[in-house]
A and B are shown apart, each in its own frame.
Chain A
């Protein structure tokens, strides 16, 4: 059976998401759709100063108010979705793909290769994530590829550790031994025997790592080292408009709500996944 046919879809595996999980999924899908169709639904060009007032209140004309230069906040949040979701998604896919592949190889090869790689990545994991990001970005300058690679490098060791622990368990099971006895190659054992059996927990782990990456990315942007002006992700929107905090401006509140809604709903979704997906190895 090909890999695509084995992907865990609810109908095929015979379970359903509970109500909280569905709510989380709905919010995630909402932001995903916004990220894709953003430019067509933004009411104003996100870089144009359209309001004469700065930190304008919510109104018929500007649904979520305007920012410190009189730009429309709704349009800027819609465009910010692309940066936040896009960068975080690219980084998390890189981190998890790298971590899972290395983890499976380490589990199957074992021996000194496994020990060496594990110790090295453990030591790397000891560096505080945000600090590592700050140092790299301060040293080589901030651009979107640098951000994606830095974030991916930060979260690869954790993903490796998780996938390796799962793969070590699967590797000792009878069907893997049988496949090996059958004379199947390295690629077959990793891709066809082990991967399908760790995919569920790995996808749940990917979701959690996505949340961490969104938070670190927002933190970097909040410190002025993430996405650079005139573009802005949600963290940068909070930074730009932080002066409006004491005025109670919607310009600083809504980007924060956007971040929180995305991260909380991913967490809710992962927390309420049926145990059949989360702990298939057990």
Chain B
């Protein structure tokens, strides 16, 4: 397919908007964390600290400098991959984060591989045979999963697979991982719970997007022309529903980076979301800022990607 130059200009524009948004977000993240109540130096030194010691530590940590200067130097470090030092355990934030981020991305990757194909097929099939038993079954299942808190899905999974059937370990870590089989077993429970939660949203939104295009006159025309139902949906309706579907998938996947805190807690999985919550309770500002940036970057990247897919799949958006 040949794309005109305007297409690439538009794609570049989206990237530019994403970068500007990222800059604004980093500004907001930095100053929002500054607003957290509690002084870091006082927390670090404990209750018995003298005012002189607190003042000394503040100077040593650079907390006395103006906020805008600290923001700029933080941003400068960020672009060079220097995330700063953790206040609490004097380690480089990059070292603390890298392991956790790898864990989060691994879990998110596995769930994506499992969910996206299944969810898209089910969503499109439910829309194609709207009102059939398959559609009703899918609707009832997705509405139940969406209506139920995540911790219930997770504890239910523990109850069924670990307590009653005794197939899988209840905790995903702390188990020795020696072989591929062990690894599969360790990841099975969080993956199962997350897959249910994420794919339920994806199925519902995919179904709605496809049904919306099926209801347009040009698809009706295809039906009147004598196209089969499969051809009508896959050949005529689906290309136009691609944009909204990409958007739905992006929204669901962005959840996998920051929204998985409950599943991480229930299964004791060491991911980024849990790290950030711990960091908030210790007022570890550099760590909080880096975690928040990771969530915002992943969200922006996915949304921008979905935007581009919509742009490339729909010529009318390129005028």
Contacts and interface: CB of A to CB of B under 8 A. Distances in A.
Given A223-B261, A238-B151, A242-B155, A127 B295 contact: yes
Contact of B147 (A127, A131, A264): A264
Nearest to B282: A138
A209 to B, nearest CB: 13
Given A123-B21, A134-B280, A263 B259 contact: no
A123 B25 contact: yes
A127 B295 CA distance: 7
B118 interface: no
B148 A128 contact: no
A218 B277 contact: no
B37 interface: yes
B150 interface: yes
A245 interface: yes
A130 B262 contact: yes
Nearest to B281: A138
Given A123-B25, A131-B276, A138-B281, A218 B149 contact: yes
Contact of B36 (A123, A131, A139, A264): A139
A152 B21 CA distance: 24
A268 B303 CA distance: 30
B286 interface: no
Interface of B: 21, 24-25, 28, 36-38, 143-144, 146-152, 155, 158-159, 163, 254-255, 257-259, 261-262, 265, 273, 276-277, 280-281, 288, 292, 295-296, 299-300, 303
B280 A128 contact: no
Contacts of A140: 37
A268 B143 CA distance: 8
Looking at B152, B158, B254, which has the most chain A CB atoms within 10 Å of its CB? Answer: B152
A250 B255 CA distance: 32
A218 B295 contact: no
Contact of A138 (B163, B255, B280): B280
A268 B28 CA distance: 39
Contacts of B38: 139
Contact of A134 (B149, B155, B261): B261
Given A128-B255, A256-B152, A135 B147 contact: no
A219 B151 contact: yes
Contacts, number: 96
A135 B259 contact: no
Interface in A214-249: 215, 218-219, 222-223, 235, 238, 242, 245-246
A267 B146 contact: yes
Interface in A104-135: 123, 126-131, 134-135
A117 B169 CA distance: 48
Interface residues of A, number: 33
B262 A263 contact: no
Nearest first, the 10 A-B pairs at minimum CB distance are A128-B258, A263-B147, A264-B147, A138-B280, A128-B259, A222-B151, A218-B149, A126-B299, A139-B36, A215-B149
A223 B266 CA distance: 9
A135 B262 CA distance: 14
Contacts of B37: 139-140
Contacts of A127: 258, 292, 295-296
Given A215-B150, A222-B262, 16 more contacts: A123-B24, A126-B303, A128-B254, A128-B259, A138-B277, A215-B147, A219-B150, A219-B262, A238-B151, A242-B155, A245-B158, A245-B159, A245-B163, A246-B163, A256-B155, A259-B152
Contacts of B150: 215, 219
Interface SS of chain A: helix
24 contacts: A123-B21, A123-B24, A127-B295, A127-B296, A128-B273, A130-B262, A134-B261, A134-B280, A138-B280, A139-B37, A215-B150, A219-B149, A222-B151, A223-B262, A235-B149, A238-B152, A245-B155, A245-B159, A246-B163, A260-B148, A263-B148, A264-B144, A266-B147, A271-B143
A211 interface: yes
Given A126-B300, A128-B255, A135 B163 contact: no
Nearest to A246: B163
Contacts of A126: 25, 296, 299-300, 303
A151 to B, nearest CB: 14
B280 A139 contact: yes
Contacts of B146: 267
Contacts of B149: 215, 218-219, 222, 235, 259
A260 B152 contact: yes
A135 B143 contact: no
Given A135-B280, A138-B277, A128 B295 contact: yes
A131 B143 contact: no
A123 B58 CA distance: 32
Nearest to B38: A139
B302 to A, nearest CB: 10
B259 A131 contact: yes
Nearest to A132: B258
A218 B37 CA distance: 25
Contacts of A135: 276-277, 280, 288
B167 to A, nearest CB: 15
Contacts of A242: 155
B296 to A, nearest CB: 6
Contact of B261 (A130, A218, A259, A268): A130
